[in-house]
Amino acid sequence: MTKAIDEAKLNRFVGQMLGDLGGALSVPLVRIGDRLGLYKALNAHGPMTPAELATRTNVAERYAREWLSHQAASGYLTYDARTGKFTLPPEQATVFAEPDSPVYLQGAFDLAATMMENEALVAPAFRSGRGVGWGEQSGCLFCAAGRFFRPGYHNSLVDSWLPALDGVAARLKAGAKVADVGCGHGFSTVIMAKAFPNSTFVGYDFHPGSIEQARLHAEQHGVTANTRFEVALASEFPGEDLDLVTFFDCLHDMGDPVGAARHVRQALKPDGRWMIVEPAAGDRLEDNLNPVGRLYYAVSTMICVPTSLDQPMGVALGAQAGLKKLSSAIAEGGFRSVRKAVETPFNMILEAQP
């Protein structure tokens, strides 16, 4: 039986696909622009012709011209046909060329590249139902994840997220004992350590390569006096009488989030606090069928679910778990209350009280 095709709907959908494919094909070009300093040069010295960009960044002019043309066709740059020059507008510069801006997205392009490489590992896992270990995943997933989340932490952690928790900022100022669990490359740990020199911070992660990078990072930022990093599982990290435990974008990646919650509970002081930063999400699938949910479900399928399924228990909450499921795991671990302290378009910040 042939199904009737609505031409207008078909045209709209093909138009959407053109946009989607254009975005997907832009991934290597944006990363080349980042790696070779093309955006930075345009930001600092633009507008430029292809020849000017080529000279300034030491690339071949023919490649510069093709790259610039693609970027203009994408709306990432503007083109002035009169002068033959390309401009990086200030709004686009915040996305491509300014690492401290809250909407710097180069890390997301790195994640996209990592996910494409992960296809060879994740497709067989769809059949077997098994996981793919965090440390086995492709390319520099660890760098990409850190780079993707850093702008949010840099702009919000000290000024907005920590002050939204009950009495935590005051304790950190005075001198508190903190564990940052699932710390990856330690961006969050170092940001807190710099802001609160009277407090001591230990970052834990089960991935030894990430802990090595985190140690280097702490040295580069001069925070080794109050910060160290150790390899440990979330369900086993050493520590007692802690004032604060933080989990940044990692609880849903864990195989046994309830076991992790139980361990945090016994590592905290009775009046300590657990801060859990998780991807923003509604509780129902239908609440997450939007552009942010779309990105997170993709990352979750290719990275978060395989990571959790590879671990004992393999609960695989997924990156769009939502407050209800997260709260229930946290409560099962022995916490009396959980509340959403702050929400951003990408993250929700939860506070759990023992």
Ligand X SMILES: C[S@@+](CC[C@H](N)C(=O)[O-])C[C@H]1O[C@@H](n2cnc3c(N)ncnc32)[C@H](O)[C@@H]1O
Interface with ligand X (CB under 6 A): 134, 145-146, 149, 182-184, 187-188, 205-207, 210, 233-234, 248-250, 253-254, 307, 311
**Residue number with the shortest CB distance to ligand X?**
184
Query: Hey, what are 163's tokens?
Result: 């002050």
Please say whether the beta carbons of 226 and 301 come within 8 A: no
Closest to ligand X by CB, 47 or 209:
209
Closest to ligand X by CB, 87 or 118:
118
Nearest distance from C-beta of residue 80 to ligand X, angstroms: 39
Closest to ligand X by CB, 76 or 153:
153
Closest to ligand X by CB, 184 or 272:
184
Q: In angstroms, rounded to a whole number, what is the distance separating the alpha carbons of residues 303 and 21?
A: 21
Phi, psi at 108, each rounded to 5°: -70, -35
- CA 349 centroid distance within chain: 14
Q: In angstroms, rounded to a whole number, what is the distance separating the alpha carbons of residues 171 and 177?
A: 9
Q: Please, which residues have CB within 8 angstroms of residue 54's CB and are 6 or more apart in sequence?
A: 60, 61, 63, 64
Tell me the CA distances in angstroms from 219 to 182, 186, 213, 266, one per residue in order.
19, 11, 10, 30
317: left (phi over 0), alpha (psi -120 to 50) or beta: alpha
Nearest distance from C-beta of residue 282 to ligand X, angstroms: 20
Helix axes 38-45, 7-35, angle to 10 degrees: 80
Nearest distance from C-beta of residue 303 to ligand X, angstroms: 7
Nearest distance from C-beta of residue 162 to ligand X, angstroms: 15
Query: Hey, what are 233's tokens?
Result: 């599982």
Closest to ligand X by CB, 118 or 188:
188
Nearest distance from C-beta of residue 277 to ligand X, angstroms: 7
Q: Residue 137 CB: number of other CB atoms within 10 A?
A: 22
Nearest distance from C-beta of residue 314 to ligand X, angstroms: 11
DSSP per-residue letters across 159-215: IIIGGGSTTHHHHHHH--EEEEET-TT-HHHHHHHHH-TTSEEEEEES-HHHHHHHH
Nearest distance from C-beta of residue 122 to ligand X, angstroms: 16
Closest to ligand X by CB, 78 or 344:
344
Closest to ligand X by CB, 59 or 277:
277
